[in-house]
């Protein structure tokens, strides 16, 4: 609809025919133009100008027959502006004092219902809609009102009442729009619980809707409902087939795409096919409005699923390798030979299919004139036409992938995805490329099996850690206690590292306790008996005491260590972090301690040690926020910090910012503190804007630094003033340095190189 054009037409009519005399409109016919103007603005979502147009009718046309309609449209606009209380007040006054036609009465009641829906009063809205459905003369509106009534009853949990409303729509037959009729059937089916007694009847009902020719525009919704039906009965293959048909039949409905993709994602997640589930969750997001709760929920699931995919892949790979490693040589040969035979059979099958496809239908064509001219190669006319066709297509369209909607310039629109295709792609991604000449070689596969026990031990540790992380993810993020239990129990059965034993037991205890399992008491006794001095045992024995001593919790310890970090107590931060890591093995806060420790190491020991510590965090916690941040820093920030050369004092790119540095031994910290106070007093006396700081350099040295000199001469002049002025007499050892070079010596701890290069007198 072209609302701008409608507004222009109404405006021209008003400009040409409107006659306002004595604050009253004298041309009674222009009220329709103002009504059209208001409606055009309303549908163009310019609500305040729309209200102005409706108010003009109410104020200037005292005898108009459009006053009631204008009032209803004005309140409709007020509801859009979230002025529901005002709209209800004006509509009540309209119903009380004005003589309304039946249709106007129905419209007013419908608008009141919308206001009550917005005010979260569905029961009152239902009553208003029932009145509106009685008075309206339009069957299309009757169907719409009944459908909303049914939805509201569903929202309130009254499914029988909802089905009565949907039955009224069905009884209207073709006198109401087909979209309401079809959706009424589908909503009614959704409200019926599937049992052994009615499942055949429901399937016949759905099949009848599917084969009805008049329902073809709505097959996407019908197919989805059939898919849900089969999914409820755990008929997975039929369910997937109908979800796929729904996606292919969808009429560019983002909401339907999102629902189908989400159901498919949940199905594959429950089947532990995580890559496919992730692909479908990824397809849900473009079909949801951003900045909505649903979008954020799906996005969070997708992010969590990426961690699941990574850890499950680790477990699967480690399981496969360890299983084959434990086989005797004869067992390995049998195992790999069976795999090779499977590959050969599949290759033979594909070759036979290809040969059959090529031969079918071409024998007759090969005897024709065109076939002989092309030497058995098929094309519509001949080889010349083939070359021209290829060239013309490439010039016009460029290089295009053979796929649906290949002509589209972008692929941003919602599209149906083939369920089978995604599953196949996910499986193919797991298979490494094998050279063609080695694909059927038994020795090739046997040589791939590791023989070093250290490699197997490493894989075993990786598998245990991955299973532990999966247990936590399933428990905390997906609330899948059964999956979490299986993973954590497997950790304990696999002779894990000591750091994983206690956290696994405690998390299992919490799951057993939540599920009301008698195993909870056994696990509690196990922890108390075998780990009596642990924090977990203390929690189980006396939870209240632990709560009262919350200052010793991991979070409280981290907060205290972070305060020490800000105070440049880097050695205490490193030792405290190490102590906390050992005290709370497996706790979610451990990666935070590791990252804080790495940062403190960098500040105290320099670039090389910082790089090593960051890599440790990145490798050991790859799917934790701290691990991901460490990976990002290694990739992006460390290369920028790596250069350790010094900038020339004459380099214009240096920025011209200078510092005065007074070096001290950390054992002489009291003298450094006294100097800092004297320098702060001098800056205040001289009315300078420079800043003073005390910076740790390494375990033995620290600096008192005066920042913010624009030139070297200015910095040297300040040093000279401190030395000669009788109020200060500060003659401590010092040197002047460019800010960029000061940053370099702090990062790389190479002050000796700087002194040798810049401060040593030249002969």
What residue numbers bound the domain in which 578 lies?
Answer: 551-641
Task: Calculate the dihedral angle through the C-alpha atoms of 295, 298, 299, 300, rounding to the nearest 10 degrees.
Answer: 120
Q: Kindly state whether residues 9 and 140 are assigned to the same domain.
A: yes
Neighbours of 255 (CB within 10 A): 12
Q: Kindly state whether residues 93 and 42 are assigned to the same domain.
A: yes
Cross-strand pairs, 701 = 665
Distance CA 677, CA 660 (A): 15
Mean per-residue pLDDT of the chain: 84
616: domain CATH number is 1.25.40.10
pLDDT band at 588 (very low <50, low <70, confident <90, very high): confident
Distance CA 621, CA 618 (A): 6
Q: Kindly state whether residues 662 and 534 are assigned to the same domain.
A: no
Provide the CA 177 distance to its chain's centre, in angstroms. Answer: 38
- Mark which of 234, 265, 300 sits at the end of a domain: 234
Average pLDDT over residues 371-399: 56
The answer, yes or no, to whether residue 388 has pLDDT greater than 70, is no
The answer, yes or no, to whether residue 392 has pLDDT greater than 70, is no
pLDDT in tens, 351-363: 888 788 777 655 5
More confident residue, 14 or 453: 453
How is residue 381 annotated by DSSP? S
Q: Is 188 exposed, middle or buried (0-12, 13-18, 19+ CB in 10 A)?
A: buried
Which 3-state string (H, E, C) describes 613-634?
HHHHHHHHCCCCHHHHHHHHHH
- Mark which of 582, 608, 641 sits at the end of a domain: 641
Q: Please check whether residue 260 lies inside any domain of the structure.
A: no
Q: Please check whether residue 311 lies inside any domain of the structure.
A: no
Q: Kindly state whether residues 491 and 559 are assigned to the same domain.
A: no
Share of the chain above pLDDT 70, in %: 86
Q: Lowest mean pLDDT: which of 200-214, 391-405, 530-544, 653-667?
A: 391-405
Following DSSP, what letter does each residue of 677-688 receive, concatenated? HHHHHHHHHHT-
More confident residue, 548 or 9: 9
Q: Please check whether residue 420 lies inside any domain of the structure.
A: no
pTM given for the model: 0.62
Residues 735, 716 contacting (CB under 8 angstroms): no
Residues 234, 198 contacting (CB under 8 angstroms): no
Q: Kindly state whether residues 585 and 662 are assigned to the same domain.
A: no
* 437 Rama sector, left if φ>0, alpha if ψ -120 to 50, beta otherwise: alpha
The answer, yes or no, to whether residue 426 has pLDDT greater than 50, is no
Q: Kindly state whether residues 162 and 27 are assigned to the same domain.
A: yes
Backbone angles phi, psi at 670, to 5 degrees: -65, -40
Residues 474, 483 contacting (CB under 8 angstroms): yes
The C-alpha R_g of the chain, in whole angstroms, comes to 38
* pLDDT at residue 111, as a whole number: 94
Q: Kindly state whether residues 363 and 486 are assigned to the same domain.
A: no
Average pLDDT over residues 69-98: 92
Distance CA 260, CA 714 (A): 71
Distance CA 271, CA 266 (A): 9
The answer, yes or no, to whether residue 434 has pLDDT greater than 60, is yes
Q: Kindly state whether residues 695 and 719 are assigned to the same domain.
A: yes
Q: Kindly state whether residues 31 and 160 are assigned to the same domain.
A: yes
Residues 298, 259 contacting (CB under 8 angstroms): no
Q: Please check whether residue 93 lies inside any domain of the structure.
A: yes
Q: Which two tokens stand for residue 204?
A: 């016949």
Residues 444, 438 contacting (CB under 8 angstroms): yes
Q: Which two tokens stand for residue 15?
A: 């400009």
Following DSSP, what letter does each residue of 66-91 receive, concatenated? THHHHHHHHHHHHHHTT-HHHHHHHH
* pLDDT at residue 395, as a whole number: 56
* pLDDT at residue 379, as a whole number: 46
Q: Kindly state whether residues 44 and 179 are assigned to the same domain.
A: yes
pLDDT in tens, 269-322: 888 788 888 889 999 999 999 888 999 989 988 888 888 888 888 898 999 999
pLDDT in tens, 143-201: 999 999 999 999 999 999 999 999 999 999 889 899 999 999 999 999 988 988 899 99
Total structural domains within the chain: 5
How is residue 18 annotated by DSSP? -
Average pLDDT over residues 243-272: 87
Q: Please check whether residue 439 lies inside any domain of the structure.
A: no
pLDDT in tens, 102-136: 999 999 999 999 999 999 999 999 999 999 999 99
* pLDDT at residue 420, as a whole number: 39
The answer, yes or no, to whether residue 415 has pLDDT greater than 50, is no
Average pLDDT over residues 621-628: 82
Q: Kindly state whether residues 158 and 42 are assigned to the same domain.
A: yes
């Amino acid at each position: 609809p072209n609302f701008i054009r409608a507004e222009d037409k109404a405006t021209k009519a008003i400009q040409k025919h409107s006659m306002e005399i004595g604050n009253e409109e004298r041309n009674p016919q222009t009220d329709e133009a103002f009504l059209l103007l208001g409606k055009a603005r309303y549908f163009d979502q310019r609500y305040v100008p729309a209200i102005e147009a409706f108010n003009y009718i109410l104020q200037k046309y005292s005898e108009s027959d459009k006053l009631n309609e204008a009032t209803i449209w004005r309140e409709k606009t007020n509801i859009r502006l979230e002025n529901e209380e005002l709209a209800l007040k004006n509509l009540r006054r309209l119903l009380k004092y004005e003589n309304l036609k039946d249709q106007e009465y129905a419209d007013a009641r419908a608008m009141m219902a919308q206001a009550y829906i917005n005010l979260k009063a569905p029961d009152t809205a239902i009553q208003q809609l029932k009145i509106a459905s009685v008075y309206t003369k339009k069957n299309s509106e009757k169907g719409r009102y009944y459908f909303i009534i049914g939805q509201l009853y569903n929202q309130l949990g009254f499914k029988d009442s909802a089905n009565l409303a949907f039955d009224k729509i069905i009884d209207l037959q073709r006198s109401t729009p087909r979209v309401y009729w079809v959706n009424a059937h589908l909503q009614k089916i959704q409200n019926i619980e599937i049992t052994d007694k009615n499942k055949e009847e429901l399937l016949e009902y759905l099949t009848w809707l599917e084969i009805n020719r008049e329902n073809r525009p709505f097959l996407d919704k019908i197919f989805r409902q059939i898919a849900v039906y089969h999914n409820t009965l755990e008929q997975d293959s039929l369910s997937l087939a109908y979800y796929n048909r729904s996606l292919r039949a969808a009429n560019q409905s983002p909401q339907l795409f999102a629902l189908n993709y989400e159901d498919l994602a949940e199905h594959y997640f429950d089947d532990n096919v995580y890559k496919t589930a992730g692909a479908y969750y990824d397809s849900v997001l473009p079909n949801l409005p951003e900045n909505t709760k649903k979008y954020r929920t799906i996005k969070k699931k997708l992010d969590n699923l990426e961690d699941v995919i990574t850890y499950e892949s680790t477990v699967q790979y480690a399981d496969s390798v360890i299983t084959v490693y434990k086989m005797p040589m004869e067992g390995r040969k049998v195992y790999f030979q069976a795999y090779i035979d499977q590959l050969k059979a599949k290759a033979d099958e594909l070759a036979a299919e290809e040969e059959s496809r090529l031969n079918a239908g071409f024998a007759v064509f090969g005897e024709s004139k065109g076939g002989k001219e092309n030497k058995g190669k098929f094309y519509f006319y001949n080889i010349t036409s083939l070359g021209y066709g290829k060239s013309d297509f490439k010039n016009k369209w460029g290089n295009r992938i053979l796929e649906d909607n290949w002509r589209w310039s972008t692929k941003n629109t919602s599209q149906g995805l083939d369920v089978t295709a995604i599953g196949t792609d996910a499986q193919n991604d797991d298979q490494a490329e094998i050279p063609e000449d080695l694909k059927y070689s038994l020795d090739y596969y046997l040589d791939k099996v590791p023989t070093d026990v250290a490699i197997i031990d490493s894989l075993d540790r990786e598998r245990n850690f991955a299973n532990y992380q999966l247990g936590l993810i399933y428990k905390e993020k997906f609330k899948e206690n059964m999956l979490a239990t299986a993973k954590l129990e497997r950790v304990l059965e696999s002779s894990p590292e000591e750091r994983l034993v206690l956290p696994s037991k405690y998390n299992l205890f919490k799951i057993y306790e939540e599920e009301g399992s008698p195993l909870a008491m056994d696990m509690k006794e196990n922890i108390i008996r075998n780990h009596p001095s642990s924090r977990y045992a203390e929690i189980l024995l006396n939870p209240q005491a632990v709560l009262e001593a919350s200052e010793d919790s991991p979070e409280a310890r981290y907060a205290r260590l972070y305060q020490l970090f800000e105070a440049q107590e880097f050695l205490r931060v490193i030792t405290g972090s190490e102590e906390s890591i050992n005290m709370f093995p497996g706790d979610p806060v451990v990666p935070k301690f590791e990252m804080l420790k790495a940062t403190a190491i960098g500040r105290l020991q320099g670039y090389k040690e910082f790089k090593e510590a960051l890599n440790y965090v990145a490798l050991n916690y790859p799917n934790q926020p701290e691990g991901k941040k460490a990976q990002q820093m290694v990739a992006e920030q460390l290369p920028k910090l790596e250069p350790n050369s010094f900038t020339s004092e004459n380099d214009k790119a240096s920025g011209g910012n200078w510092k005065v540095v007074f070096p001290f031994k950390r054992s002489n910290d009291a003298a450094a503190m006294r100097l800092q106070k004297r320098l702060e007093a001098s800056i205040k006396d001289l009315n300078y804007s420079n800043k003073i700081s005390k910076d740790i350099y390494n375990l033995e040295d620290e600096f008192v630094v005066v920042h913010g000199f624009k030139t070297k001469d200015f910095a040297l002049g300040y040093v000279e003033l401190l030395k000669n002025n009788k109020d200060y007499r500060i003659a401590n050892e010092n040197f002047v340095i460019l800010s960029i070079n000061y940053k370099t010596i702090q990062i790389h701890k190479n002050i000796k190189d700087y002194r040798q290069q810049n401060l040593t007198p030249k002969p």
